[in-house]
Structure 1
Amino acid sequence: MNVLKIIFNFYINSSIHVALAVVSLTAISTLQFNVECNFTLLSFIFLATITGYNFVKYAGIAKLHHLSLAKNLRLIQIFSLLAFIGLVFLVFQLNITALIVSAILGIFTILYALPVFGHQTNLRGVSGIKIFIIAMVWSGVTVLLPVLNNYSIYNVDVILGFIQRFFFVIVITLPFEIRDLKFDMARLGTIPQIYGIRKTRIIGFLMLGIFILLEFLKVDTNIGNVIGVILVAVMCSYCLSRSTITQSKYFSSFWVEGIPIIWLFILLALGEIN
């Protein structure tokens, strides 16, 4: 049992779970926009997510405690290095447009983690914008990259899909912000800090309404996509309503972050009625 717990904690803490969530959202986009589900691109996004997330989470810790890192953190550090090496090999498999977008999103990730604005301030520490940076990067990676890497032409559905994904990511990030209320500094200006938990839930429910509405505005949607969006909105609503400061250890980091994976399986299961 202890071995399984160690493996599961590594799965969560090394960002494998969040990487699978991002890959799932990318695969969803390929289904929605009818573009090629490129294994190389999915692998690139998987490794880039692990590299980026672990850099954001552990770079500061590694700098301060490099000589006395805990065994698990050292393992994550080695794992992240291997992911980065694999990422470098895959870079040359993408087209130039996708590479440019990846580079821009990568810069935002670096600015999010490193204090480049003076006085030890990074984008993460700028009041009120943390959640929107996360949503923009996730939406760019999971909507724009699969479209651009297939040389697809932008259309209304892609724009609506980007906006829809933006709202979705904000909603599934809210349980994390509620959980972190007891840790976050007041200057971060997160939505729960500004509006409180009850109003944060209301904001999330309103965003989920927009999330569903945008699906009906798309030119080329189908009953499978509509059902998938509604079911995902129901799951998000439930998770948001259950989010508290004292939520269980894995509520957000496993269950909430796993919603994109469930969404992908829903679309695959509904594929026959599309």
Structure 2
Amino acid sequence: MQWLRQQFRFYIHASIHVAFAVVSLVGVTVLEFDLNVPIALWFFVFFGTISGYNFVKYAKIAGLHHRSLAQSLRAIQVFSAISMAGVFLSMFFLTTTTLIVAFGFGLLTLFYAVPLFRSKNLRNIIGLKIFVVALVWAGVTVAVPIVEEGMTISGDFWITLSQRTLIVLALILPFEIRDLQFDRVGLKTVPQRYGVMKTKGLGISLLTLVVLLEGLKNMPSVWSLYALLCTMILIGLAIGYARKKQSEYFASFWVESIPIIWVSLLFLFRHFFS
């Protein structure tokens, strides 16, 4: 049992779970737009997420919230190096345009942890933290697969990109509430500025806007709409149950599992309604 706990902790802290979440959002885009992307793209996003997240999380050991992580840090570093190798290998099978777009989002990730100007990184710029994360997630999971497919940018693309940004913003809020006990006051995160209850209200408003935007699409399918509604309910429940003092894996496992559930629902409903 102890061995299983250790493996699970490594699975979470090495960013494997969040990588599956990001890949799942790519899957949502692939299903909704009926794309046929190469397998290299899946590996590129998966390994790129692991490399990027681990770089951001462990760039400064002193910034770790859980000191026990230092014991397994070397294993995570080795795993991250292997993941980076996977990123480089998969690059050779993707289009130049895709790599240029992905490079732009990679730079945002880099400057999220590395000082950009005046010894400040994007994470430490007041009010910018969650928007950078949301933009990177939305760009990687919507723009990158569509660019790789070579599709014409349409109105549905911009609506989906906007929806994905709002969804990621909503998914971040349980983490923001959890991190109230860790974030410095000067960071002025959403819960710090508006309190927990107003933050939850903001989250529900974002989810409502996502559903309303779905009605603006050219021909939204019934199965994707049902999957979206179920997912918005799950995110709403996650936001509602979020607490400053929450269980260790509430956000890092359960909340981050929602994209995986979303793509699973899309597969299920697509089969059921087709």
Aligning the two structures, in what range does the TM-score lie when normalised by the shorter sequence? over 0.9
Q: Residue in 2 aligned with 1:38?
A: 38
Q: How far apart in 2 are the matches of 1:237 and 1:70? A: 34
Which sections of structure 1, spanning at least 5 residues, go unmatched? Answer: none
Which residue number in structure 1 is paired with residue 260 of structure 2? 261
Amino acid at match of 2:85: I
Offset at 1:62?
A: 8.6
CA-atom RMSD, angstroms?
1.5
| Aligned residue number for residue 161 of structure 1 | 160
Query: 1:71 Cα shift?
Result: 3.8
Distance 2:45 2:87 in 1: 8
Note the alpha carbon deviations across 1:181-208, whole angstroms, 9 max, x for none.
0110112121111100000000000100
Q: Measure, in 2, the Cα distance between the counterparts of 1:38 and 1:252.
A: 31
Aligned residues of 1:123 and 1:129 also touching (Cα < 8 A): yes
- The one-letter amino acid paired with 2:261 is I
Tell whether the 8 Å contact from 1:47 to 1:87 is kept in structure 2 after alignment: yes
1:40-189 to 2 correspondences below 5 Å: 40-61=40-61, 70-118=70-118, 120-189=119-188
Whole-angstrom distance in 1 between the partners of 2:63 and 2:137: 26
Query: Match for 1:31: what amino acid?
Result: L
What is the SS of the residue equivalent to 2:27?
Answer: helix
- Is the partner of 1:217 in helix, strand or coil? coil
Q: Indicate the larger mover: 93-102 or 15-24.
A: 93-102
Q: Does 1:228 align with 2:227?
A: yes
Query: What's the CA shift for 1:155?
Result: 0.4
Question: How far has the Cα of 1:215 moved from its partner?
Answer: 1.4
Q: Quick one: which amino acid aligns to residue 235 of structure 1?
A: L
CA distance in 1, matches of 2:219, 2:246: 39
Deviation at 1:70, TM superposition (A): 3.8
C-alpha separation between the residues in 2 aligned to 1:158 and 1:70? 42
| Structure 2 match to 1:270 | 269
Instruction: Show structure 2 runs of 5+ residues with no match.
Output: none
Contact 1:201 1:241 in 2 (8 A): yes
1:7-22 matched pairs, under 5 angstroms: 7-22=7-22
- Verify the 8 A CA contact 1:30 1:36 in the aligned structure 2: yes
CA distance in 1, matches of 2:235, 2:101: 29
Answer yes or no: is the 8 Å Cα contact 2:159–2:217 preserved in 1: yes
Runs of 4+ in 1 over 6 A off after TM superposition: none
Identify the residue that residue 24 of structure 1 maps to in structure 2: 24
For residues 117-141 of structure 1, give each alpha carbon's deviation from its aligned partner in whole angstroms, at most 9, with x where no partner exists: 12x3100000001000000000000
Secondary structure, counterpart of 2:152 in structure 1? coil
The reply to whether residue 206 of structure 1 matches residue 205 of structure 2 is: yes
d(CA) in 2 for partners of 1:202, 1:224? 28
Counterpart residue type for residue 247 of structure 1: Q
| Structure 2: distance between partners of 1:149 and 1:116 | 29
Instruction: Tell me whether 194-203 or 90-99 shows the greater mean CA deviation.
Output: 90-99
Q: What is the CA–CA distance in structure 2 between the aligned matches of 1:111 and 1:56, rounded to whole Å? A: 9
Q: Per-residue CA shift, 1:78-109, capped at 9, x if unaligned?
A: 00000001111111211111111111001101
**1:116 CA drift (Å):** 2.5
User: Which residue does the alignment assign to 2:191?
Assistant: 192
Identity rate, percent: 42
